[in-house]
Copies of this chain bind each other. A is one copy, B any other.
Amino acid sequence: MKLNKLGEFGIIKRIYQKSKDKNVLVGIGDDAAVLKIGKKLAVITTDTLVEGDHFNLSYFTPEQIGMKAIEINVSDIVSMGATPKYALVSLALQKNMNVKFIDNLYKGMRKAASKYGVEIIGGNLTHAKQIIIDVDVIGFVNKQNLCLRSSAKPGDFILVSGDLGASTAGLNLFLKKNKGHDYVKKKHLEPKANPHKIKSFLKYINAMEDVSDGLASEIQHICEQSNVGAIIYADNIPIRDETRKAAKAVNKNALDYALYGGEDFELVFTVNEKNLNKVKGYLIGEITKNRDIKIYQKGKEKLLKKHGYDHFA
């Protein structure tokens, strides 16, 4: 069987093994691993940007690529309820590239890292046919703030921290070489992690994940790992007018971008009803005991079949 038949989800299931180490609080399957080191809880994530897949030199500047490499990893740490602290950078570059590329890449990485108090403390350097940037970020978390994919409870409300679909809208305009639509294009070129949007009420969040592969995919992860289902109120999903206009310009549906696109890096989280007044966000669904994931739109309910972005589909 080929990898594209199995899909990303299937591959991860195939390689999954439960840890037997009592210091591994979270292993394969969440946004980051959580380790008990002495009295501290360390959170570690790794994410790879591949040229032509996660960025394209025809519309990304090297500085923007550097910023993105850090932001997406910081986002994984933030989605665990943790605070990022250190980064390691593994670069594969082409031999004939200009030194300016690496200077500007590092400028972007350091610019993004310093916003979050993150320091680049090491890495690796090699050459390849494609540019590959693998970043690891290490952070720390207080146990009461830890937000796992597996902590959603039936009856929880589902919220998102901001508008969705804009990054995918931007990407599609770049691919079709459409002019204008600066809001969505910037959302694609300069994604940001969003720790400030959830920091003040972390202790009231049950499950959390960052929206990197589309809302449908993230809610599915939470449901799988929490052994629950969900109902998504599609009409409540925050989508900006700019995103709707950009989708329309290429004959696409902005809701599809929000559900099945990716790289928004907003946070999707679940909260018990009694804590709803203590958090901020857009209420877009509910966790159910029944394990189906349903979408309710314009008075009609249907089963979620499609997933989010799959790197192998």
Name the contact of A121 in the complex, choosing from B6, B35, B90, B124 (C-beta under 8 A): B35
Tell me the number of copies of this protein.
2
Name the contact of A3 in the complex, choosing from B21, B47, B95, B122 (C-beta under 8 A): B95
In the assembly, what is the distance between CA of A2 and CA of B99, in Å? 5
Q: In the complex where A28-B121, A86-B24 touch, is A48 in contact with B126 (Cβ < 8 A)?
A: yes
Contact-residue size bin, chain A (C-beta under 8 Å from the other chain): 35 or more
In the assembly, what is the distance between CA of A266 and CA of B96, in Å? 31
Distance in angstroms from A148 CB to nearest chain B CB is: 13
When distances are taken between beta carbons in the complex, the residues of chain B under 8 Å from A121 are 19, 21, 24, 27-28, 33, 35
Say whether A122 contacts B50, CB under 8 Å: no
Distance in angstroms from A172 CB to nearest chain B CB is: 19
**Is A92's CB within 8 Å of the partner chain B?**
yes
Name the contact of A122 in the complex, choosing from B14, B44, B53, B98 (C-beta under 8 A): B44
Besides A15-B106, A28-B120, A46-B90, 15 other CB < 8 A contacts? A3-B93, A3-B95, A3-B96, A3-B99, A8-B125, A28-B123, A32-B122, A37-B40, A42-B42, A46-B122, A92-B132, A128-B130, A128-B132, A129-B129, A132-B132
Q: List 22 A-B contacts (CB under 8 A).
A: A1-B98, A2-B95, A2-B99, A3-B98, A5-B99, A15-B102, A21-B119, A38-B38, A45-B122, A46-B122, A46-B136, A48-B126, A50-B127, A50-B132, A52-B129, A88-B136, A93-B312, A127-B311, A127-B312, A128-B130, A129-B129, A134-B134
